[in-house]
């Protein structure tokens, strides 16, 4: 069966654990598996610059005995001639290659590629959305260094707003039952859509964290504690100082993702920094220091020799885990003993404009070639996400394309409407423009409080 790796959610926990076991074997003898994928070809389609991810994938494929073809950066591809991503993956997936490794600046690009590719697609980073193979590498490092992931306390520090690595890592940590301490650079907090998803899927309730034991690392940040393990305790927690952070197992530092900054983002001054002084905090005594690299000034070179600093080991371990990913998706090894994550149903937006609010979603950056799609998050009140970039859709009313009536999002009548008949409407004027009429009991937009008019 054709498999893709677009999100970390595409893998079950059993599959992830088996990938770790295979990576252990590949790591122990990296030259001993040169017949695993002999005669097979990986296509590296990198529409953004990359060093570690691209080279580690190419090294992994070569160590498995396969070959590599590369299209690096937009300037050297047919995208500059106006070719759509959908057409590119159909061409490359024809006879050029057996697997596609894709990096793209638009969120949801890998999900789009999955729809059109006849061969496995691996997401090597799509905008600020997800980076599942880096997440597998990060999880694998925790597995190697700590022997387990469940129950660990992991600090995520720096740019939590734009770091796709952090977003994928946070979802995966929650699935494994680890606790997360968010220590963001001011103004670059974890996006609400990421926290909302963790709340819905893992029962996570964010609370303020008392991070004084983290010392200078958290001295200028409002720390937040996220845990899927203590929801009842947190619901009764009333200490104004926040949930006390004690001993930490890992600190995951990130650089400012300046290439993704939006117009309103100001240059970052006094960015969070790990150095000898900050690593002297009592709660960090046994914490390993991780970083997806490249780094700038957020980790001082003076702690490179600290045995707790594993970021170079972390990069090296990217090869065996990516060997395992490639071999699994090309059917050369098995993982999970048949335990699979069911695919989420997505539906095309047939009527009306694209309701996705994200300007860098692939449905916005390639509007001539991409049909907007959505997934349903809840029926009452109606909530939906973009199927490509995962952002929550913004709408004031929801219509039915069969009855041509529109309803309030909390209307019980919407429970009976088929997903492919739903129409998301920004306001009453948009409904009228599409020839929809209000259902019985729907208030006019002028009667609604301002807070209700902006949905999403």
User: Is residue 352 in a domain?
Assistant: yes
Q: Do residues 100 and 205 both lie within one domain?
A: no
Strand, coil or helix: what is 225?
A: strand
Q: Do residues 62 and 87 both lie within one domain?
A: yes
Active-site annotation holder among 22, 36, 53, 360: 53
Residue 131 in contact with residue 257, Cβ under 8 Å?
no
pLDDT of residue 136: 95
Domain containing 225 — which CATH number?
A: 3.40.50.1370
Domain containing 407 — which CATH number?
A: 2.30.30.20
Task: Provide the CB-side half-sphere exposure for 436 (13 A, CA).
Answer: 29
User: Is residue 3 in a domain?
Assistant: no
Q: Do residues 281 and 363 both lie within one domain?
A: no
Q: Which domain holds residue 442?
A: 347-453
| Of 394, 398, 384, nearest in space to 344 by CA | 384
User: Is residue 144 in a domain?
Assistant: yes
| Among 203-207, 236-240, 410-414, 449-453, the least confident range | 449-453
Active-site annotation holder among 52, 213, 347, 421: 52
103 is catalytic: yes
pLDDT band at 50 (very low <50, low <70, confident <90, very high): confident
Q: Do residues 202 and 303 both lie within one domain?
A: yes
Query: pLDDT at residue 452 above 50?
Result: no
Q: Do residues 141 and 122 both lie within one domain?
A: no
% residues pLDDT > 70 (the chain): 90
Q: Do residues 31 and 102 both lie within one domain?
A: yes
52 is catalytic: yes
Give the tens place of pLDDT for each residue, 166-180. Answer: 888 998 999 999 999
pLDDT of residue 146: 94
258 is catalytic: no
**Pick from 309, 328, 363: which residue ends a domain?**
309
| Of 42, 91, 98, nearest in space to 67 by CA | 42
Number of domain units in the chain: 3
Q: 259: left (phi > 0), else alpha (psi -120 to 50), else beta? A: alpha
Q: Do residues 150 and 98 both lie within one domain?
A: no
User: Is residue 179 in a domain?
Assistant: yes
**Rounded Cα gap, residues 333 and 324, in angstroms:** 8
Distances (CA, A) of 357 to 106, 255, 284: 13, 26, 39
User: Is residue 1 in a domain?
Assistant: no
Q: Do residues 124 and 140 both lie within one domain?
A: no
Query: pLDDT at residue 388 above 70?
Result: yes
User: Is residue 72 in a domain?
Assistant: yes
Q: Which runs of consecutive H residues, i.e. helices, occur in 64-108?
A: 85-91
Give the tens place of pLDDT for each residue, 329-378. Answer: 999 999 987 788 888 899 999 899 999 999 999 999 998 889 999 999 88
Interstrand relation of 121-126 and 179-184 (parallel, antiparallel or unpaired): unpaired
Q: Do residues 293 and 208 both lie within one domain?
A: yes
The helix/strand count (H/E) of the chain reads as 14, 18
pLDDT of residue 77: 52
User: Is residue 102 in a domain?
Assistant: yes
Active-site annotation holder among 4, 22, 63, 103: 103
Give the tens place of pLDDT for each residue, 97-134. Answer: 999 999 999 999 999 999 999 999 999 999 888 889 99
Predicted structure pTM score: 0.86
Q: Do residues 281 and 373 both lie within one domain?
A: no
**Rounded Cα gap, residues 92 and 68, in angstroms:** 12
Strand, coil or helix: what is 153?
A: strand
Give the tens place of pLDDT for each residue, 11-48. Answer: 999 999 999 999 999 999 999 999 999 999 999 999 98
81 is catalytic: yes
Query: pLDDT at residue 451 above 60?
Result: no
User: Is residue 2 in a domain?
Assistant: no
Cα-to-chain-centroid distance, residue 68: 26
Query: pLDDT at residue 3 above 90?
Result: yes
Active-site annotation holder among 63, 104, 131, 175: 131
Q: Do residues 18 and 113 both lie within one domain?
A: yes
Active-site annotation holder among 31, 81, 232, 266: 81
pLDDT band at 455 (very low <50, low <70, confident <90, very high): very low
């Amino acid at each position: 069966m054709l498999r893709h790796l677009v999100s970390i959610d595409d893998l079950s926990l059993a599959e992830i654990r088996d990938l770790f076991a295979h990576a252990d074997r590949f790591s122990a003898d990296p030259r001993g598996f040169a017949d695993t994928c002999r005669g097979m070809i990986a296509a590296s389609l990198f529409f953004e610059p990359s060093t570690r991810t691209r080279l580690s994938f190419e090294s992994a494929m070569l160590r498995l005995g396969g070959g590599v073809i590369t299209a690096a950066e937009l300037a050297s591809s047919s995208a500059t001639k106006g070719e759509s991503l959908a057409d590119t993956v159909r061409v490359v997936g024809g006879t050029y290659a057996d697997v596609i490794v894709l990096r793209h600046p638009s969120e949801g690009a890998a999900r789009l590629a999955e729809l059109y590719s006849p061969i496995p697609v691996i997401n090597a980073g799509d905008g600020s959305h997800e980076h599942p193979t880096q997440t597998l590498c990060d999880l694998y490092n925790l597995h190697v260094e700590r022997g387990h992931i469940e129950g660990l306390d992991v600090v995520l520090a720096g740019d939590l707003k734009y770091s796709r690595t952090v977003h994928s890592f946070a979802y995966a940590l929650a699935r494994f039952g680890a606790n997360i301490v968010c220590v963001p650079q001011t103004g670059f907090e974890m996006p609400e859509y990421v926290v909302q998803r963790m709340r819905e899927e893992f029962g996570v309730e964010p609370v303020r964290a008392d991070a004084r034991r983290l010392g200078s690392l958290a001295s200028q940040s409002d720390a937040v504690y996220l845990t899927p393990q203590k929801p009842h305790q947190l619901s009764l927690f009333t200490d104004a100082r926040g949930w006390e952070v004690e001993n930490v197992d890992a600190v995951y530092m990130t650089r400012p993702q300046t290439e993704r900054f939006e117009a309103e983002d100001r240059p970052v001054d006094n960015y969070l920094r790990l150095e000898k002084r900050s690593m002297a905090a009592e709660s960090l005594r046994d914490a390993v220091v991780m970083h997806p690299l490249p780094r700038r000034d957020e980790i001082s070179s003076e702690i490179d020799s600290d045995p707790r600093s594993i970021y170079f080991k972390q990069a090296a371990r990217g090869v065996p885990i990516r060997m395992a990913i490639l071999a699994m998706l090309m059917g050369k090894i098995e993982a999970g003993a048949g335990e699979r994550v069911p695919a989420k149903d997505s539906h095309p937006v047939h009527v009306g404009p694209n309701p996705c609010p994200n300007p860098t979603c692939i449905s916005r950056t390639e509007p001539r070639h991409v049909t907007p799609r959505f997934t349903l998050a809840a029926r009452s009140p109606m909530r939906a996400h973009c199927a490509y970039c995962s952002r929550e859709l913004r709408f004031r009313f929801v219509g039915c394309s069969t009855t041509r009536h529109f309803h309030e999002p909390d209307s019980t009548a919407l429970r009976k409407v088929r997903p492919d008949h739903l129409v998301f409407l920004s306001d009453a004027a948009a409904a009228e423009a599409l020839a929809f009429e209000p259902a019985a009991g729907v208030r006019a937009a002028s009667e609604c409080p301002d807070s209700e008019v902006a949905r999403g």
